[in-house]
A = this chain, B = another copy of it.
Amino acid sequence: MQPLPAINPSRRILLGPGPSMVHPRVLQAMATPLLGHLDPEFLAIMDDIQKALRWLFHTQNTLTIPISGTGSSAMEAAIVNLVEPGDAVIVGINGIFGTRLASMVERCGGQAIRLEVPWGQPLNPEHIGHHLKATTPIKAVAIVHAETSTGVHQPLEHIGQLCQQHEVLYIVDTVTSLGGMEVNVDAWHIDVCYSATQKCISCPPGVAPITFSDRAVHSIRQRQSPCTSWYLDCSLISDYWSESKRTYHHTAPISMAYALRESLRLIQEEGLEARIARHQRNSHALLAGLNTLGFELFPLASFTLTTLLCVRLPPFLDDLHARKVLLKEFHIEVGGGLGPLARKVWRIGLMGESSREEYILTLLSALEQILTRDYGQTPTGISMKAAMDIWNQPHSSLSTFPPSNN
């Protein structure tokens, strides 16, 4: 067979729903020669990662680890470890990822009680509270913090209190929020919280952080039937991550662990508060710019993510044409709509390293050029001006975007 040529990918500005841009130091970490997965030096790196993840999740949970797969594998790990055949799980659905959670519950024999609200809206805690009272017994409530398919930010704290009251496990998807928005596992009474690396953590996809409360671990230990997945069985995986055991389970993805550690280190250096504020400020600036060009926020402003903006396209704009031009001519990736939102919205991620003024200006400039050339408009810099106006405001005045609503 004729050997393949070398790869030579074009340089992209990644402003889609993930992967986000990766810092050169993280890329460099990936190129570090490997240690064995039981090498004492690698075990020390695992310890570092666990400590940093606990810090990022705001938790004291012992079982806080990266799953050896992408974000969806952590979603599956959350479900298959906690749900046994016959268990009823309330699943909040307001987009693609809630639907996925429900499918996973059913595949491992559980009963998914779907609480659906229209795409673009958050779930109402009172609605969940009603079902917790009416239906018994409920094993868990599963909900998505940051719906990547709609750009909706789901407030979490109130639902956590309800789960606590009803002694029900609380499972939360923070794939598109962890590392870019506040996620407070212990204070919000979350029992299982998982994320992905290729969003606000800005590490390539391939490992996925997850944390289990002691209550969740107890529930796993009390299972009547084995976890349907051997690969994701946290009662086994935890023995590899336990400092006193280190029992081999599967070979950890060494290079991805290097990358995750370096990404977490960059977050520590920036500081979590500063990072969250940067995501707020930049999403506000991009939205101001987009508004001047005719894009409108899809969710209510008070429930928008600051890590990913889901915006309705101006009626005249051809989705496929514009995204193709953005990618081919300007090397900018933005995400299209999924399911019922296909062709109607864009999902623009400003996550981690992608949440930078330079990329926002480049995107707005590219859009102005497309509107001028292909749609006969003359925006003349208004969108970039609008973004700059936000950046020039004192930081404190931005704290109301979006209103704090945990």
Contact = CB atoms under 8 A, between A and B. Distances in A.
Interface stretch (A13-21, A120-128, A186-194, A379-387): A13-21
Contacts of A259: 255
In the complex, which of the residues A19, A72, A108, A249 has the most CB atoms of chain B within 10 Å of its own CB atom? Answer: A19
A34 B48 CA distance: 25
Interface in A1-34: 1-4, 6-7, 9-12, 14, 16, 18-19, 21-22, 27-34
Contacts of A1: 52, 55, 268
Contact of A27 (B10, B21, B33, B265): B33
A33 B4 contact: no
Is the contact region of chain A dominated by helix, strand, or loop, or is it mixed? loop
Copies in the complex: 2
Interface of A: 1-4, 6-7, 9-12, 14, 16, 18-19, 21-22, 27-37, 39-42, 45, 48, 52, 55, 68-73, 75-76, 80, 100, 103-104, 106-108, 196, 198, 204-206, 226-231, 248-256, 258-259, 261-262, 264-265, 268-269, 327, 333, 338
A10 to B, nearest CB: 6
Contact of A30 (B12, B30, B71, B228): B30
In the complex, which of the residues A3, A10, A230 has the most CB atoms of chain B within 10 Å of its own CB atom? Answer: A230
B9 A230 contact: no
A73 B231 contact: yes
Contacts of A226: 106-107
A30 B9 CA distance: 12
